[in-house]
Amino acid sequence: MTHSAIDVIRAKRDGGVLSDAQIDWIMDGYTRGAVADEQMSALAMAILLRGMTPPEIARWTRAMIASGERLDLSGVDRPTVDKHSTGGVGDKITLPLTPLVAACGAAVPQLSGRGLGHTGGTLDKLESIPGFRTTLSNDEFLAQLSGVGAAICAAGAGLAPADRKLYALRDVTGTVEAIPLIASSIMSKKIAEGTGALVLDVKVGTGAFMTHVEQARELARTMVELGAAHGVRTVALLTGMSTPLGLAVGNAVEVAESVEVLAGGGPRDVVELTLTLAREMLDLAGLPDADPAAALRDGRAMDSWRSLVRAQGGDPDAALPVAPETEVVRSTVDGYVSTVDAYLIGMAAWLLGAGRARKEDGVSASAGVLLHRRPGDPVRVGDPLYELRAEDADRIPAAREAAAGAVEITGAPPALVPLIMERVG
């Protein structure tokens, strides 16, 4: 059957359901360059406005996977399970979680990304460790999964190349928010990486991509259904992101906090989410009796982290970069911290140099924000609320202004919101 891009665009524009053949044809044509960017832009906008049925999303995802290679992890001698987070402020969970789950007997093929905007990227954080390599060949990746039990690296160019093209296009055409396109983008890469099971951390709140729980729930359900449709056992948790995770927001500062967690300490919320996700991952991997809390206590998780860092060229004992310029913001009233706005703190970290506005921008390893108080904490006049850190003092005034309304103080302790909101599975 002969297809044309205009016919496919019109069909979706008018609220129709695309056939498998139409989806396969347009995805293949776009990957090869036979379908123009402006035509795929029009289709993406039609999908944003008209939506897609579950079978359409499943086929769209399948076509994106088919645009490239699919890794075969059958040679790895442990059950494989991965985690994906939709991103948030201070979300360093991949760093302690990956070696922790590996220490408990699973293999974690963690393909991660870089930050854009106010949410930091896992690879940017890891590159603040001297010598750490985030690019591995497929052979290195597989060998490390069998040896160390975990790898955290960039996805190879051969995995779902259609997604790479479409992601860049969505970024500049106002179609990033389309749930079918978000779900298929995330799941095409995760399914192509070959993992046997997947746990999704879908963030909800001011510092998250999804600010409303209804949106987040729809995205979670869509991704769980996609996993099932492609034979990958998948569970999603909806977790709060109106307050930053932990006390550190940036790159090196988040690595340092992750190492604290692996040493058996660290902020309570980071430990809670790390252990909750670890239990979900181990359960899906067929290891329900493994005890991740014990692996944090007895040093196995730290040993696993050190092995992972060394395997990827890093020095786990090297000093992390420290920003030369700092400014502490203090409370002007007595009371209790009621909110610490994740979005505003994230914007401040970004302005300090911890994030990037465009994919090609560099990031500062040492820049970021350190929180001294969290919701529920009492404060007196003069107590430190947070600390701004930068390589360049000229960056601090704009960051100070961005964060000015981030911390609210009230006369009575606030009602605290649970971190883990819902489970979709």
Active site residues: 84, 163, 170, 185, 189
DSSP code string of 85-112:
E---TT--THHHHHHHHHHTT-BEEEEE
Count, in order, helices (H) and strands (E) of the chain: 16, 13
* Cβ contact 260:68 at 8 Å: no
Which residue has 């994230």 as its token pair?
346
8 Å CB contact between 352 and 389: yes
What is d(CA 128, CA 257) in angstroms, rounded to the nearest whole number?
Answer: 13
Distances (CA, A) of 292 to 106, 169, 208, 379: 11, 40, 27, 34
Which strands, in side-by-side order, build the sheet including 407-410?
Answer: 378-379, 335-340, 407-410
- By the 10 Å C-beta count (0-12 exposed, 13-18 middle, 19+ buried), 400 is classed as middle
Cα within 13 Å of Cα(169), Cβ side: 22
The CA-to-CA distance between both ends of the chain, in Å, stands at 38
CA distance 348 to 326: 13
